[in-house]
A = this chain, B = another copy of it.
């Protein structure tokens, strides 16, 4: 059962890639602030690298001006997330979250079986907005789609 609007962000350990790597708890990460989290099926994959992350990079100032933190999630390890972030010149205002074991993604119920593509378990492409850990907006893409979770789409909803 996937998380719904009104639901509470579940607890799981994630690696935050920012000035090095630190293990954090997802509940603490979302506590006391408004966060836009967008998730991609894989670092270095075409849509994620050419469109999804770049859109948030392009619009980061608008999210910040509206009072939202922005985080990017993938079921990749922290080394890969770090390399991917650097390859895209990602600003530090976008927090890179590595869910290498897929625990947080599975706790959200938003996992994707990508083993047919040689990618094992991944996250669906989605975006969610949470206020103090309560989900206020949820945008889950249909398989292969890139539309509702784009930065422009999420910005328009805020």
- Taking Cβ atoms with an 8 Å cutoff, the residues of A that contact B are 13-15, 23, 42-46, 76-80, 82-84, 87, 98-102, 115, 117-120
Q: Shortest CB–CB separation between residue A81 and chain B, in angstroms?
A: 9
| Chain B residues whose C-beta falls within 8 Å of the C-beta of A118 in the assembled complex | 13-15, 23, 77-78, 98-101
Whether B43 lies near A79 (C-beta < 8 A) is yes
Measured CA separation A23–B115 after assembly (Å): 13
Q: Shortest CB–CB separation between residue A23 and chain B, in angstroms?
A: 7
Whether B117 lies near A100 (C-beta < 8 A) is yes
Question: Which residue of the partner chain, among B79, B115, B120, contacts A45 with CB atoms under 8 Å?
Answer: B79
Q: Shortest CB–CB separation between residue A71 and chain B, in angstroms?
A: 16
Whether B80 lies near A42 (C-beta < 8 A) is yes
Question: Which residue of the partner chain, among B13, B23, B42, B102, contacts A79 with CB atoms under 8 Å?
Answer: B42
Query: Which interface residue of A14, A15, A115, A119 has the most chain B CB atoms within 10 A?
Result: A119
The closest CB in chain B to the CB of A23 belongs to B118
Question: Which residue of the partner chain, among B13, B14, B80, contacts A80 with CB atoms under 8 Å?
Answer: B80
